[in-house]
């Protein structure tokens, strides 16, 4: 485990993970503030400064990412943003938009990474790789700083795509459950909220969502890469 530990790669992973989580949670908080719930703003979460987010979820934003990288070679974790549940129940459509802001923020970062790839190709810095992996969406034409940038951009693209897709799955405690709740009738929404508010169901929801992601992410990732490289033969 430790013999193959790559400090530079771990730092790249952590920087991308931190930026992605902070942007995601700040988007939730900003949307909530604009829609009428200032809870996240008053708790200092409507910010791109990572420290307030780390202080709220130190285990999910420091410990779990490091441990997962040591054992699996990639990072997972979690972060969260406070909100007023009374406000969310009274304004389900607004709460759904607040929830949607998180996945949309990840989509924005996917698009930023995609633009960086296309610009790099246009400048002759990057090129389409012979084989696509999670950490190799593009590759540098020469070693050095450009290679590090290619890896960072690749992880930014893939990680934010997986965060977006995962969070859109309509199971608690993921954002997709709140998004779905905004489109249900009042009675159906109350029954759905009563169900996913139980801790056991939330754990069960995560297990199901992770297995669903395992099935759907590969094709979605491949589609996104082929959109990035029109006419590419990636399969």
Could you read off the pLDDT of 30-82 as tens digits, one per residue? 999 999 999 999 999 999 999 999 999 999 999 999 999 999 899 999 999 99
Look at 72 and 153; give whichever has higher pLDDT: 153
In this structure, is residue 208 part of a structural domain?
yes
What does residue 48 show for φ and ψ, rounded to 5 degrees? -95, 5
- Which residues participate in catalysis according to the annotation? 25
| pTM score over 0.85 | yes
In this structure, is residue 2 part of a structural domain?
no
In this structure, is residue 42 part of a structural domain?
yes
Look at 181 and 112; give whichever has higher pLDDT: 112
In this structure, is residue 65 part of a structural domain?
yes
In this structure, is residue 235 part of a structural domain?
no
Give the pLDDT score at 4. Answer: 55
Query: Poorest-confidence range of 132-136, 152-156, 199-203?
Result: 199-203
In this structure, is residue 204 part of a structural domain?
yes
Chain segment 2-33, per-residue pLDDT in tens? 445 688 899 999 999 999 999 999 999 999 99
First to last CA, the chain: 31
Question: Residue 181's domain spans which residues?
Answer: 7-228
H/E stretch holding 126 reads strand 126-127
Give the pLDDT score at 3. Answer: 47
Using CA atoms, how far apart are residues 196 and 193, in angstroms rounded to an integer?
5
Using CA atoms, how far apart are residues 183 and 185, in angstroms rounded to an integer?
7
Into how many domains does the chain fold?
1
* Closest to 164 (Cα-Cα) out of 224, 227, 100, 107: 107
In this structure, is residue 233 part of a structural domain?
no
Query: Poorest-confidence range of 95-109, 115-129, 133-147, 186-200?
Result: 186-200
Three-class secondary structure of residue 193 per DSSP: helix
Residue 136 forms beta bridges with which residues? 133
In this structure, is residue 1 part of a structural domain?
no
Using CA atoms, how far apart are residues 85 and 91, in angstroms rounded to an integer?
10
Give the pLDDT score at 52. Answer: 97
Give the pLDDT mean for 109-136.
96
């Amino acid at each position: 485990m430790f013999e193959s530990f790559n400090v530079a790669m771990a730092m790249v992973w952590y920087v991308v993970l931190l930026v992605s989580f902070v942007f995601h949670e700040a988007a939730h908080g900003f949307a909530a503030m604009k829609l009428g719930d200032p809870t996240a703003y008053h708790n200092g979460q409507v910010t791109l400064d990572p420290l307030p987010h780390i202080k709220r979820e130190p285990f999910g934003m420091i410990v779990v990412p490091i441990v997962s990288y040591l054992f699996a070679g990639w990072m997972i974790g979690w972060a969260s943003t406070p909100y007023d549940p009374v406000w969310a129940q009274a304004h389900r459509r607004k709460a759904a938009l607040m929830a949607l802001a998180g996945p949309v923020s990840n989509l924005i970062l996917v698009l930023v990474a995609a633009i960086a790839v296309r610009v790099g190709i246009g400048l002759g810095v990057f090129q389409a790789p012979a084989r696509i992996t999670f950490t190799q969406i593009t590759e540098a034409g020469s070693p050095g700083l450009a290679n590090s940038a290619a890896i960072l951009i690749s992880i930014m693209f893939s990680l934010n795509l997986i965060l977006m897709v995962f969070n859109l799955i309509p199971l608690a405690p993921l954002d997709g459950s709140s998004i779905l709740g905004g489109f249900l009738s009042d009675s159906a929404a109350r029954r759905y909220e009563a169900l996913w508010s139980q801790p056991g169901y939330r754990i069960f929801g995560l297990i199901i969502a992770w297995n669903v992601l395992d099935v759907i992410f590969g094709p979605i990732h491949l589609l996104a890469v082929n959109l990035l490289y029109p006419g590419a033969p990636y399969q």
